[in-house]
Structure 1
Amino acid sequence: MPVPTARISALNAVPTRQDGDHILYWMTAARRSAWSYGLDHAIARARELGKPLIVLEALRCDYPWASDRLHAFVLAGMRANAARFTAADVVYHPYVEPSRGAGKGLLAALAARACLVVTDEYPCFFLPRMQAAAAALPVRIEKVDGNGVIPLRAAEIVFSTAHAFRRFIQKRCREFIEQRPAADPLARLDLPHTAVPKDILARWPAASPELLAGTPAALARLPIDHSVAACGEGGSEAATRALRAFLADGLPRYGDRNDPAASCTSGLSPHLHFGHIGAHEVLAALLAREAWKPARLAATASGSREGWWGVSPAAEGFLDQIVTWRELGFNMCFHRPDHAEYESLPPWARKTLAEHASDPRQVYTPAQLEAAATHDGLWNAAQRQLVREGTIHNYLRMLWGKKILEWSPDPRTALATLTHLNNKYALDGRDPNSYSGIAWILGRYDRPWGPERPVYGKLRYMSSDNTARKLRVAGYLARHAA
């Protein structure tokens, strides 16, 4: 099935070079070898022009918050990709920058001999700026949106609430729900053969097996932050295992997901963020488990969180997370380049925060917060989990953010601290979902709440005491003790 045209856009007006040597797929966000609209489109263009395909996956060393943790997770994905593309006889060039700026010119060198370049569209972090710079190259570049079930361009406005976006999804979902990338695009490729030119390999050699293995010694040689230790297991195989484990064990108990003792969340956020698995694969597996058919969709787009999909309550709850809330964040990032800035918060939230800017408050420095050195044991446990494991339990992450707002000298400092800690330590940081979660702490996608409180104003209030009364946290506190 061809990639829907709504998902393809040109980065520049350069025509396709018919006499080029190859098609270059510049893999930047969908870092996987299956269920990828970007890869599907690159293969389709290679077949159309009768040209070989080269896949470039590069990892620079100077992206913000570059660390052993983030590098190791990406490298695990590159290792899995190398195995899959090699088995399919597709040229795959995994390049890992050994020093700042060493990779400069690699894309241009491979693109200079290409008919065109295909890349992934991703509306967040440094990727839009990187691709905007690449648009100046004298080669056609086409970017492909494989971010979610609903194409980014299907929504022409920024949605300010989950309810409004949910209604939009329910109105439009039938157009897109059965459109999916190929589950095995590398099967029976039958493309012409090629190789990365020797002069390019000599200057930008492929990553060694040791480096792709992400060994401590290999990571230690890179100019990245070694204080943030590697954790978690990256790569498409690990992502698929996590999905299967969740569907078998976590999903039946998903109604208890707010309870830290239940351990029933999907754990898929890091894999989705790094593109080691895509939303379409997750959705297909979930709907297959539910024996779902399109006829089970509700007739009316009510915006309700329950009952519209026609699946079990647990599956409805998970779909609301991975479709509604996840893609709501992409909607904001796509339409608002300033999505990470304070000025992008709702006017009512900025107004109430300004009115309470001079309220007395207990203040911790960013360094104290990073070290989990507060008086609040539950908050400290959440911060330790973030530092050690690269994640925080979903419900406790909301509490974690609210207390940073409460303990910061002003809301702008709170936003900066939230962004830094999350992006430095969270495996799923630097993502539209991350920026949605951070901004939710400060009022995005929410409404004014009463009673009006010091520091918070009309923002939703959360406390550790109330959380401890609602949830079973004794085991969580023990697991994440100092």
Structure 2
Amino acid sequence: MLRPDSFPDHLAERITDHSASAACVSGGRFVIYWMRTAVRAHENPALDVALTAGQRLGLPVFVYHALSEKYPYASDRHHTFILEGARDVEAECVARGIGYAFHLERPGQRGPALRTLAARAALVVTETMPVAPLDWLTDSLAEAATCPVWSVDTACVVPMPLVGTAHTRAFAFRDATAAVRAARVSADWTDVAPHTPAFVPDDLPYEPLRLAHADIAAMVARCEIDHGVAPVPHTRGGTVAGYARWRAFVTAGRLDRYAAKRNDASIDGVSRMSAYFHYGMVSTFRIVRECTERGGDGAVKYLDELLVWRELAYAFCYWHDAPDTLDAIPVWARETLARHESDTRTRHTWETLARSGTGDELWDTAQQSLRVHGELHNNVRMTWGKAIPMWSTNASESLERLIDLNHRYALDGRDPASYGGLLWCLGQFDRPFTPEVGVLGTVRPRRSDEHRQRMNFPAYRAHVSRSAGLSPRVTVIGAGISGLSCARTLHDHGIAVTVLDKSRGVGGRISTRREGQWMFDHGAPSLRLDDARLARYAESWIQDGVLQPMHEGEYVGARGMNTLPKHLARDLTVKTGVHVASIARAGAGWAITDREGAAHDCDIVLLATPAPQAAVLMSTIEQPVAFAQSLAGVSMLPCWSSMIVFDAPPPALVSESLVGGELRTDLPMLHRAWRQSSRRGRSTDEAWVVHSEGGWSADHIEAEPADIASWVSDALRTQLQIAGDITYAVSHRWRYARVQTGLDDACVFDESRGIGACGDWGAAGATRRSHPSVERAWLSGIALAGRVLGRATSRSRPVP
């Protein structure tokens, strides 16, 4: 029987057996190395364990590397970085004669591929990553598999299994592991040679992605992930880019100056290697050897950060049951934070924090660094983290926000070292400090204003505000939800964007009409935001007083439905009353001409209008755009929306039957109706909005609005059994209100020419019709923004 303790010592000490007691290495067709966080084919202990096991069992070994759509905070940023790393490791495996098959989860390529493969394997080897979700994914596979599942520490010089306990102070960890560390810092690593020709099973349950020439941006765009967090242009994933950054750090003398300059956030004084360490794209062992050989104060300090503080956090997460909860901070810290829970504080929503809207210039600049550049200088991160409890309800929410903001935006997020830094902000790895302060109690304070005085803040702000490599001027035509979500996403990544709309205001069909004391939500009557990617926005909008919850997961605007689009447009350059007449190519960009003859030039033009209107604009372009035909195939139904006021309410029995103030009938003229007076902040007059069915509206599309208003108001009065008179009746024609035939793709984009389109017709094919139209519009707009940002950061090959 093959046991972990039968391996060479330098490998055996790194293995954790996750197998059920009954699992043993017997039978099976091959050994799988499930690659996740050691994305390299050199100095990789997990790969060496798999190859050694394969030799002893006489079985071939192959590398299964996968990227799910479902991991926490899955986004274009993380996906792109991982795929770039996968491209390098694929090439490295080819050079070493090791089989490698990458599984990118996407439409047509979903399903439990690993479990299917594990059922045929003799052994599954992966890396030890002691934080969610990878730790419980490992255990879950081990519970389901009939073969053993082992994880191997590929990240730490002092193997996590040898540490033995969750140390809570750096000095204690440093002293306890000193002898083990000293014996390993200079040790060379010899890679295990493959014993068979490169092997990949010929019956893989997925189509492996060939990465050498893959269009990574296009592949990422197909995945159902958060397209609102863009790749970072100046930080490419992969072994090649990682070692290039390390060499530049060393050869420029910055390693030698590290001890003196590492805390100055206004200069490039740190290595910026944490993302490469997190994904194991570079070997920690190699970096440690090189630092040890170089010597000097800078190298000594760098090694202390890498070998003590980083490995302290890894070992803590390995030996602690719940490193992502408040149970991970000391009792004294939990108690002092609880005692100060009622202290006065300014409450900021998640959206305010994410979009750098607190008004604290240093904090907002730090958050901008995270959001745009995917990184945060460690010295600033401590002040950034200490501020969040001041703006949160309690310690639990503080930790949730620390984790969310860091993991969502930071390329090194979801890492044990990240948890080390985040938990430190709430007292972990630290001691109590007196005197007590508000909110934090005896947890060490770190005030933003004091930090700002210690640094060259203008230089830091200039450093963060530098372009991330994204410089196109973008014009979005259409200020509905899709256009605004697209523009906001681009704006938040530092893109210069202008929104044009022919109407007097923003919002499109998310609209509210006011007539004296009456207010009518005559477009979309409510919102459903069921997609998990929108949950954090919905929560923030409720807290900010933008939305009000209704019933069964529905929301309405707090001061009319157009409250939301006004909120989205708040920071944007929006020009209303601009009716675009034509679009023409102008050099490498576009010339947009409105009906008044005014020109609006840009590098990229994005159409966020109903598909038929977009198709008309596309027809003004001399050379046809590839996706124009797709847009022409979208069909939309109209809707007559009628606004009606009666001078008396319906009988009590009728009123009681109107759950949520909504009426549905089988009459096409009265398809759905909403009682406006049942909404908070509205007049108590008997005001209604009626939407007529799409087919009926199409049949009467050219009717006079006054005739429609008369027919509908009479029919509604009869339906509601109202004896009184009709005080007010007006009808509005929405010519393109409901998607009849949409596209499966969330948006369309011609990358080579810089033109695209989005709307609620996106992701509206047969498989996605259950998504509410407003939700589809929002996701379509963000998806198109993601295509633009992906285009700006696209790189087909790694840079040497």
Contact 1:76 1:213 in 2 (8 A): no
1:429 to 392, 413, 425: 413
- What code does the residue aligned with 2:167 have? F
What's the offset of the Cα at 1:211?
8.4
1:480 match: secondary structure = helix
Residues 384 and 405 (structure 1), Cα distance of their counterparts in 2 relative to 1, 3 Å cut: same
2:255 corresponds to 1:251: yes
3-state SS of paired residue (1:251): coil
Q: Which amino acid aligns with 2:122?
A: C
* Aligned equivalent of 1:405: 389
User: 2:121 aligned to 114, 117, 125, which one?
Assistant: 114
SS at match of 1:79: helix
CA distance in 1, matches of 2:382, 2:75: 25
Corresponding residue number in structure 1 for 2:219: 218
Partner of 1:205: 207
Contact 1:75 1:212 in 2 (8 A): no
* 1:452 to 2:439 alignment: no
Alignment of 1:2-17 (within 5 A): 2=8, 3-12=10-19, 13=21, 14-17=23-26
Structure 2 stretches lacking a partner, 5+ long: 1-6, 466-493, 495-800
Distance 2:198 2:94 in 1: 12
Q: Given the alignment of the two structures, is residue 70 of structure 1 paired with residue 82 of structure 2, yes or no?
A: no
Partner residue in 1 for 2:29: 21
Q: 2:325 aligns with which of 324, 336, 341?
A: 341
Offset from partner CA, 1:332-370 (integer Å, 9 cap, x none): 111112111012211111111112111112221121111
Are 1:327 and 2:311 matched, yes or no? yes
Alignment-derived partner of residue 170 in structure 1: 178
1:128 aligns with 2:135: yes
Higher alpha-carbon Rg: 2
Q: Does 1:358 align with 2:363?
A: no
- The within-5 A match list for 1:51-62 is 51-62=59-70
Alignment-mate amino acid for residue 241 of structure 1? A
2:87 is the alignment partner of 1:79: yes
Partner in structure 2 of residue 469 of structure 1:
453
What does 1:165-314 correspond to in 2, within 5 Å? 165-179=173-187, 181-182=189-190, 184-185=191-192, 189-197=194-202, 199-200=203-204, 203-209=205-211, 212-215=214-217, 217-231=218-232, 232-249=235-252, 250-254=254-258, 255-288=260-293, 290=294, 311-314=295-298
Deviation at 1:212, TM superposition (A): 4.7
TM-score, structure 2 normalization: 0.54
1:147 CA drift (Å): 2.1
- Cα deviations across residues 349-397 of structure 1 (Å, max 9, x unaligned)? 1111112111112221121111101121111110001000111111111
Q: Tell me the distance in 2 between the aligned counterparts of 1:387 and 1:5.
A: 40
Q: CA deviation at 1:277?
A: 1.6
Q: For residue 36 of structure 1, what is the aligned residue in structure 2?
A: 44
Taking the aligned partners of 1:337 and 1:279, their CA distance within structure 2 comes to 25
Q: For residue 371 of structure 1, what is the amino acid of its counterpart?
A: R
Worse-matched range after superposition: 272-281 or 383-392? 272-281
Deviation per residue, 1:182-224 (Å, 9 max, x gap): 3x545xx342453322x32xx4001144885422x22111100
User: Take 2:192 and 2:44, find their aligned partners in 1: how far apart are those partners?
Assistant: 8
Name the CA distance, whole Å, in 2 between partners of 1:178 and 1:191.
Answer: 31
Structure in which a larger fraction of residues adopt helix: 1
Give the whole-Å Cα distance in 2 for the aligned partners of 1:268 and 1:166: 22
Tell me, in whole angstroms, the C-alpha distance in 2 between the residues paired with 1:204 and 1:271: 28
Point out the more displaced range, 337-346 or 60-69: 337-346
What residue identity is the alignment partner of 2:30? H
The one-letter amino acid paired with 1:439 is: L
What is the percentage of aligned positions where both structures have the same residue? 34
* Cα distance change of structure 1 residues 213 and 100 upon mapping to structure 2, 3 Å threshold: closer
- The answer to whether the Cα contact below 8 Å between 1:228 and 1:425 also exists between their aligned partners in 2 is yes
Q: Using the alignment, how far apart are the partners of 1:86 and 1:471 within structure 2?
A: 48
SS at match of 2:247: helix
Specify the code of the residue in structure 2 equivalent to 1:221.
R
CA–CA distance in 2 between the matches of 1:364 and 1:11? 42
User: Amino acid of the residue matched to residue 121 of structure 2?
Assistant: A
Determine which of 96, 100, 103 is the counterpart of 2:104.
Answer: 96
Q: 2:403 aligns with which of 415, 419, 422?
A: 419
Which deviates the most, 317-326 or 26-35? 26-35
Structure 1: how far apart are the matches of 2:49 and 2:196? Answer: 14
Alignment partners' CA distance in 2, 1:174 and 1:313: 18
Separation (CA, whole Å) in 2 of partners of 1:27 and 1:425:
23
- Tell me the amino acid that sits aligned with residue 353 of structure 2: L
Q: Distance in 1 between matches of 2:38 and 2:464?
A: 33
The whole-number CA distance in structure 1 between the counterparts of 2:72 and 2:214 is 21
Unaligned 5+ residue runs, structure 1?
291-310
Q: CA shift at 1:253, angstroms?
A: 1.5
Please say if residues 107 and 222 of structure 2, whose CA atoms lie closer than 8 Å, have aligned partners that are also in contact: no
Partner Cα distance (2:166, 2:15) in 1: 20
Query: Whole-Å Cα distance in 2 between the matches of residues 179 and 113 of structure 1?
Result: 36
Shift of residue 99, structure 1, vs aligned partner: 4.5
Structure 2 distance, partners of 1:418, 1:168, is: 30
Structure 1 residue 101: Cα displacement = 8.6
State the TM-score, normalized to the length of structure 1: 0.89
Q: What letter matches 2:196 in structure 1?
A: L
After superposition, the Cα gap between the structure-2 partners of 1:163 and 1:212, relative to the gap in structure 1 and judged at 3 Å, is farther
Q: Give the superposition deviation at 1:70.
A: 0.3
Distance 1:162 1:101, change over 3 A: farther
* Aligned AA (1:207): L
Separation in 2, partners of 1:212, 1:461:
48
Check 1:168–1:179 CA distance in 2 against 1; reply closer, same or farther (3 A cut): same
Q: SS at the partner of 1:4?
A: helix
SS in 2 for 1:142: strand
User: Aligned-pair distance for 1:100?
Assistant: 9.8
Once the two structures are TM-superposed, the CA of residue 87 in structure 1 deviates from its matched residue by 2.4
Distance, in Å, in 1 between the alignment partners of 2:157 and 2:188 is: 8
CA shift at 1:52, angstroms? 2.1
8 Å contact from structure 1 (residues 210, 218) kept in 2: no
Give 3-state SS (helix, strand or coil) of 1:54's partner: strand
Q: Which has the higher contact order (CA 8 A, sep 6+)?
A: 1
Q: Is the 8 A contact 1:46 1:191 kept in 2?
A: no
Question: Aligned-pair distance for 1:468?
Answer: 1.9
Say if 2:103 and 2:209, in contact at 8 Å, map to a contact too.
yes
Structure 2 CA distance for partners of 1:459 and 1:193, relative to 1, 3 Å: closer
Letter in 2 for 1:282: I
Residue aligning to 1:295: none
Query: In structure 2, the residue corresponding to 1:176 is in which secondary structure?
Result: coil
